[in-house]
Homo-oligomer: A and B are copies of this chain.
């Protein structure tokens, strides 16, 4: 079979670089172009020297990259995808938008939290939220996937069985999440200055992070009803990984002992989600550089709360890996193709 022509828009950022590396190893893919705002004409290996001598391509402009590919990955800051997605769709390309523009169905919410006006509402209606484990069938049929945010991926996978099976009270939900520094992207800032971050750890955007409405909207689709969650992200002194600790009241009448089984059964056939045995807890080091999600459960009997700990690699299952998982589904390819199934152990 001839290879699928793929382009990456915004390939000079961290997600773009991760995606390029994954796509290079994907047996069904031919990368036809990489675009960048600031590096047009410059070779990939100059921005990311890990590629030197192994693979190279000069960054090009968006229009050329779109034109030469059949499938486009967009890795752009919010507000910058919508127009380019329109161009792609007008040229009958398939699109995985790794940015935030198409994640929310409620466009008022989008405007409220992102401060951006929507120009093409029909596109937003058409977009499928690309949490593969939740929307697999719709993803297979769509031409436009909105790849989930990194935090929501770890959080929604951790909550999906509990919410869908009505084991817990959504209104009691508190989410304390911690991310590696790559989540902050490649742009230089004091927050990612090595000397200041190396032994630093902090909460940020407390109860105001833009992933909040995404979490709430998707929980509603899982059956939670209208919910407001407290969501606090923190920045770890580590490169990769998100660990989300979620606290939620177990509903009256639910047998707490059954929860572990319900989770294990729910994800039994999922290639990228593993529910750890009772008593085991995940570590971000278990999933780094892989597309895996690991989930550990604890019943806090003293307070009758379910405490869920979920880990992913924010660059893989939280961004580029999940994007390729969605690409595989959209193109009718084996879902795991080209993806890393086992993290290095150190």
Contact with B along A190-204 (1 / 0, CB 8 A): 101111111111111
Closest to A55 in B: B342
Decide if A236 touches B201 in the complex (CB within 8 Å).
yes
Closest to A197 in B: B194
Those of A176-233 within 8 Å (CB) of chain B: 176, 178, 180-182, 184, 186, 188-190, 192-204, 206-207, 228-230, 232
Closest to A279 in B: B206
* A53–B295 CA distance with the chains assembled, in angstroms: 11
Decide if A21 touches B344 in the complex (CB within 8 Å).
yes
Contact with B along A275-302 (1 / 0, CB 8 A): 0100011111111111010101010101
Chain B residues whose CB sits within 8 angstroms of the CB of A240 once the complex forms: 199, 346
Decide if A178 touches B345 in the complex (CB within 8 Å).
no
Tell yes or no: A17 within 8 A of B by CB: yes
Q: Which of A55, A176, A315 has the most CB of B within 10 A?
A: A176
Chain B residues whose CB sits within 8 angstroms of the CB of A258 once the complex forms: none
Nearest-CB distance from A101 to chain B (Å)? 23
Residue from the list B188, B197, B284 in contact with A189, Cβ < 8 A: B188
Known A-B contacts A203-B245, A230-B303, A309-B203; A14 and B342 likewise in contact (beta carbons under 8 Å): no
Chain B residues whose CB sits within 8 angstroms of the CB of A203 once the complex forms: 243, 245, 281, 296, 309
Chain B residues whose CB sits within 8 angstroms of the CB of A55 once the complex forms: 341-342
Tell yes or no: A115 within 8 A of B by CB: no
Chain B residues whose CB sits within 8 angstroms of the CB of A184 once the complex forms: 195
Decide if B292 touches A54 in the complex (CB within 8 Å).
yes
Tell yes or no: A31 within 8 A of B by CB: no
Contact with B along A236-277 (1 / 0, CB 8 A): 111111010101000000000000000000000000001010
Tell yes or no: A69 within 8 A of B by CB: no
Query: What is the interface size of chain A, counting residues whose CB is below 8 A from a CB of the partner?
Result: 83
Tell yes or no: A52 within 8 A of B by CB: yes
Decide if B199 touches A188 in the complex (CB within 8 Å).
no
Decide if B201 touches A346 in the complex (CB within 8 Å).
no
Known A-B contacts A201-B284, A239-B198, A344-B21; A228 and B303 likewise in contact (beta carbons under 8 Å): yes
Tell yes or no: A94 within 8 A of B by CB: no
Tell yes or no: A24 within 8 A of B by CB: yes
Those of A137-192 within 8 Å (CB) of chain B: 174, 176, 178, 180-182, 184, 186, 188-190, 192
Closest to A190 in B: B188
Chain B residues whose CB sits within 8 angstroms of the CB of A204 once the complex forms: 281
Tell yes or no: A305 within 8 A of B by CB: yes
Decide if B178 touches A198 in the complex (CB within 8 Å).
no
Closest to A283 in B: B202
* New contact pairs (19) apart from A194-B239, A230-B302, CB-CB < 8 Å: A14-B346, A17-B345, A18-B344, A21-B342, A174-B247, A184-B195, A194-B237, A198-B238, A199-B238, A199-B239, A199-B288, A201-B238, A201-B284, A202-B281, A202-B285, A203-B309, A247-B247, A289-B344, A315-B346
- 16 chain-A/chain-B pairs, Cβ below 8 angstroms: A14-B195, A17-B345, A17-B346, A24-B342, A50-B285, A50-B343, A54-B341, A54-B342, A178-B201, A199-B288, A201-B241, A204-B281, A206-B298, A230-B247, A237-B238, A239-B346
